[in-house]
Structure 1
Amino acid sequence: MRNPSGVLRAWLNDRPLVPDTALAVALAGVAVLLLRAVPPREGTQEGLVAALTVAWCLSLVLRRRAPFSMLLTTCLAGIALATLGVGGLPLWPAVLLLVYTVAAHRGLALSLCALVWSLVCHFVTTVPGGTLGDWGVHLPVTVLTVTMWLTGRSVRLRRAYLEELRDRARRTERAREADTRAARAEERSRIARELHDVVAHHVSVMTVQASAARRVLATNPEGAREALSAIEEMGRTAMAEMRNIVGVLRTDASPAERNPQPGVAEIPALVDQMREAGLRAQLWVEGTPGTLPPGVDLAAYRLVQEALTNSLRHAGPTARAWVTVRHEHGQLAVEVEDDGRGLDGDAAPGEGSGHGLVGIRERVALYGGILRIGPRPEGGFEVNARFPLKDV
């Protein structure tokens, strides 16, 4: 339930003429009472003076549009009343309100001019009545005028402070939205790399298996049947992984984020897959396996997957590959080597230098690792990465 006072305040802020009109009517009533307390001298038309005073007070409805100009003319009207023997007292409440308005809605220099002008005009209005040297009259008026000016300045400063807070909150919200968009873009980029790794690996294996099945279809139907079964199984695995990864793009609470990602422990199964696809691959695991950070664990697996896939595609049918995983103190070393033709052996122009190797570089750099990719001195190709383990 909303606060009634807050609703009323918001309604009045949207319609400033309503409170200004009520205030102008109240000041006109006060001015009439002061005119009765201090009647003009003989010969002055009281009705005309009262009508002009009330009309001037009612014009304060527009005080927010030109407060300084209205203050100048109101003070001059007070001086004119003083020459008629009334003094500036009937219009002085209006002057105080205008001093407050200028201080609350205009800059410091203009508000200081308004304060000085109102005090000077007050002293001038006391000349016809002979009270110029009466500080019993000047001191209360001066204190009250300065108080209204200080109140207006404090309101202006508070309003500026609140506006700065609101602006800062808006900037913070925009920055938070920008960070959220950047995080989403980074996550989608990660998903794209994962998708590339999955597709490249499985499609390459399926292509090799299909080629082998075609070659032995006439002479070795049983071997062709096994190759086709391997293709079927590989296709199902690829589709399952792709569904898990692409699911992140469809919902914020995808089960893919909760499914376990492959890691170093799954590298032996990966090497077996590559052997079935026709790559003579061997695996060595050195050191005592420990608990790896999830990101490093996944990055090491994807690195081996991409490197073996490139070996299968480009090293040649007689090539051998070696995978070495070393669990050292403070770091994880992963090496994948082959003795084949390398990426340029039978690759088309530009092939082998695309998103796969770029993804490997990004993964290793993300975790502060060191990566070497290139030909071996004795022939073939190697991918050598070292991941620092700060928490080990």
Structure 2
Amino acid sequence: MSPRIRGLAAFRAWLQSRPQAADAFMALGLLLLGFVQVFVEDQPKELKAYYVDPDAGHILLVIAITMSLTFRQRHPMTVLAFILACEFWITVQHYPPTIPDVVAFMIAIYSVAAHRALAISALGGLLALVSFNVMLILLPMNAGLITYLMDNALVIGLWVLGRNLRLRRAYFTELEDRAARLERARGTDARAARVEERSRIARELHDVVAHHVSVMTVQAGAARRILDRDPGNAREAMTTIEEVGRTALSEMRRIVGVLRTERDADRAGGELAPQPGLGDLGELLDHVRETGLSVQLWIEGEARTPSPGVDVAAFRLIQEALTNTLKHAGPEARAWVRLYYTDDDLTVEIEDDGRGTATIMADNGDNPGHGLVGMYERVALYGGELRIGPRVGGGFGVRARFPLEA
């Protein structure tokens, strides 16, 4: 962008932030145009019989009328009354009309209608219409019926234009306020969904940690009983306690700071059940196939056992993606689940050839917050990466990478 264009853009932004300065510049431009008319153009011969030549008093009146537009947005009714008084004096003194005072009169009518409430703007419009007709009567010449009607229609039209623009401005302001409220509500819902999903993850990890602590307790008791007569097995039990303890601590770090919320009685029983993992993936796919959705599973690489939290998170991600596919991909859709194992991470892909964006963008109505927000929360919790978007060739895809040792 050239410096000139940047300068014009900056000047325009400056004027938009200072409406009174913009009105002052408009008034100055209108005044310069009026001076050209007064000092350069001669009055037509047919008008010299009705109007006197402009003098200093006339010029001062035109300057006052035009520059009063500087305050048209802050004090539109006052500006209109001032312009009407000056126009009335110009008419009485038989000064010829000029472009600045005529245009200023029209802008003042518009400003009252556009910047004041209905009662005040109606009063201003009525005052302008009556004053205008009085000035037409006081003109030193007969304007004719057609001219009279057209001039009155112009005054009324300017007032109606101002009212319509005011209503339109109020409508757009209301739309902006509504959009802001919806955005705030959406942000609140998203925060609530994140809290809900984190609470669910914390409960799942709580069960994992509780299981590990139980194993540690059993192993410690066994080691204590056989410590004297079988030191080798006792040492093996201690090693198991150490490994399980490290795993439990790793999972415990993830639920620190997350409050474990209570649930109603009808859901409490389900939360006490063992948490599923990738070992239960076959059963999940069988249930999905029973609903009529064709699902295929591919496993590449040497399968390795991930940490318990990653195991639960990967299973829940596949479950959520397939649930959304069932709901939104359509009756003829097919789905593919792929697991890629490497030495360091596990990549999970769920794809379908259904209706595309609707597959994932719609949230799970039965479990609020377990849609996109839940997927991102689960993957981010374990330091993974998640990509969600349309699939090449149609449909939708979810791809997540979990480090095996989170």
TM-score, L = length of structure 1? 0.56
Secondary structure at the counterpart of residue 95 of structure 1: helix
Once the 2 structures are TM-superposed, how far is the Cα of residue 115 of structure 1 from its aligned partner? 1.9
Q: Which residue of 2 aligns with 1:291?
A: 286
Rate the CA distance shift 1:136–1:30 in 2: closer, same or farther, 3 A.
Answer: farther
After superposition, give the CA deviation of every residue in 1:97-127 in whole Å (9 maximum; x if it has no partner). Answer: 1011112222222222222211211111133
Following superposition of structure 1 onto structure 2, how do residues 52-201 of structure 1 map, counting pairs within 5 Å?
52-86=61-95, 91-129=101-139, 134-201=144-211
CA contact under 8 A between 1:213 and 1:228: conserved in structure 2? yes
Rate the CA distance shift 1:41–1:140 in 2: closer, same or farther, 3 A.
Answer: closer
Q: Which has the higher contact order (CA 8 A, sep 6+)?
A: 2
Tell me the distance in 2 between the aligned counterparts of 1:8 and 1:239.
61
Once the 2 structures are TM-superposed, how far is the Cα of residue 234 of structure 1 from its aligned partner? 2.9
Tell me the distance in 2 between the aligned counterparts of 1:6 and 1:154.
29
After superposition, give the CA deviation of every residue in 1:289-342 in whole Å (9 maximum; x if it has no partner). Answer: 96347xxxxxxx99xxxxxxxxxxxxxxxxxxxxxxxxxxxxxxxxxxxxxxxx
Q: Which amino acid aligns with 2:162?
A: G
Tell me the distance in 2 between the aligned counterparts of 1:28 and 1:177.
51
1:19 equivalent among 12, 18, 22: 22
Rate the CA distance shift 1:130–1:214 in 2: closer, same or farther, 3 A.
Answer: same
* Fraction of identical pairs, as percent: 40
Matched pairs, number: 266
CA contact under 8 A between 1:209 and 1:227: conserved in structure 2? yes
After superposition, give the CA deviation of every residue in 1:185-206 in whole Å (9 maximum; x if it has no partner). Answer: 1222122212321222211221
Tell me the distance in 2 between the aligned counterparts of 1:213 and 1:69.
96
CA contact under 8 A between 1:209 and 1:228: conserved in structure 2? yes
After superposition, give the CA deviation of every residue in 1:23-73 in whole Å (9 maximum; x if it has no partner). Answer: 212433455536963679899982222222222322222222101111012
Rate the CA distance shift 1:87–1:43 in 2: closer, same or farther, 3 A.
Answer: closer
CA contact under 8 A between 2:219 and 2:237: conserved in structure 1? yes
Tell me the distance in 1 between the aligned counterparts of 2:367 and 2:72.
63
Following superposition of structure 1 onto structure 2, how do residues 245-284 of structure 1 map, counting pairs within 5 Å?
262-263=276-277, 265=279
Q: Which has the larger radius of gyration?
A: 1
Rate the CA distance shift 1:179–1:23 in 2: closer, same or farther, 3 A.
Answer: same
1:212 counterpart = 2:222:
yes
Q: Which amino acid aligns with 2:63?
A: V
CA contact under 8 A between 2:209 and 2:251: conserved in structure 1? no
Tell me the distance in 2 between the aligned counterparts of 1:289 and 1:194.
18
After superposition, give the CA deviation of every residue in 1:245-288 in whole Å (9 maximum; x if it has no partner). Answer: 569x9xxxxxxxxxxx7449569xxxxxxxxxxxxxxxxxxxx9
Rate the CA distance shift 1:119–1:65 in 2: closer, same or farther, 3 A.
Answer: same
Q: Which amino acid aligns with 1:174?
A: R
TM-score, L = length of structure 2? 0.54
Rate the CA distance shift 1:93–1:290 in 2: closer, same or farther, 3 A.
Answer: closer
Rate the CA distance shift 1:95–1:161 in 2: closer, same or farther, 3 A.
Answer: same
Tell me the distance in 1 between the aligned counterparts of 2:246 and 2:29.
85
Secondary structure at the counterpart of residue 127 of structure 1: helix
Tell me the distance in 1 between the aligned counterparts of 2:284 and 2:74.
78
Secondary structure at the counterpart of residue 291 of structure 1: helix
Q: Which runs of 5+ in 1 are unaligned?
A: 250-260, 268-287, 294-300, 303-364, 368-392
CA contact under 8 A between 1:212 and 1:224: conserved in structure 2? yes
Tell me the distance in 1 between the aligned counterparts of 2:234 and 2:51.
128
Rate the CA distance shift 1:157–1:10 in 2: closer, same or farther, 3 A.
Answer: farther
Rate the CA distance shift 1:237–1:94 in 2: closer, same or farther, 3 A.
Answer: closer
